[in-house]
Each structure stands twice: as structure tokens, then as C-alpha cells.
Amino acid sequence: MTFFDLFSISLNEEIEDILIALSSQYHLIHPLAGTDDLFAYYILDSEKSNLALARRKLKTVESNLNIE
């Protein structure tokens, strides 16, 4: 069982992101493609950040990673 299996609700879909929203921060967890063991973790200031842009940046970073 992996960390992301804990969030599975049997929808036969993949988790794109997990968002934790606090009063002053967003925590964005993004599972990396091709592995069940790695994820990117962003912590954002909720007043200064844009979630849509952060998610787009996560996908860009992921596409530039070389995971072996």
C-alpha cells in the first residue's frame, strides 16, 4: 500500500493533486508520474499565490524530472 492508496475511494481514477488549505497556507501534494513512491510538495502563501499557476508549474517541473 502506498501513501496515495489512503486517499483512494474506488473511482478508478488517478489522483492529480491533494490540497490542504490552512488559514495562511496551501499545501499542494502532487504524485509524480511513473512511480508510487515519489511526490512533489509545495507550500504556498495563500495571500500571494495562485493555485492554478502552482499546479501548472508542478506539471512543468515534473515533465523536466528524470526519474530512474
Identify the pLDDT of residue 21: 96
Identify the pLDDT of residue 43: 96
For residue 38, what are the CA distances in angstroms to 6, 17, 19?
15, 13, 16
For the stretch 29-38, contacts whose Cβ atoms lie closer than 8 Å and that sit 24 or more positions apart, written own/partner, are: 30/55, 30/58, 30/59, 30/62, 31/4, 32/62, 32/65, 32/67, 33/62, 34/67, 35/67, 36/2, 36/4, 37/2, 38/67
Q: Is the pLDDT of residue 4 over 80?
A: no
> Model confidence over 16-68: pLDDT tens digits?
899 999 999 999 999 888 787 889 999 999 999 999 999 999 989 888 888 77
Domain ranges of the chain: 3-64
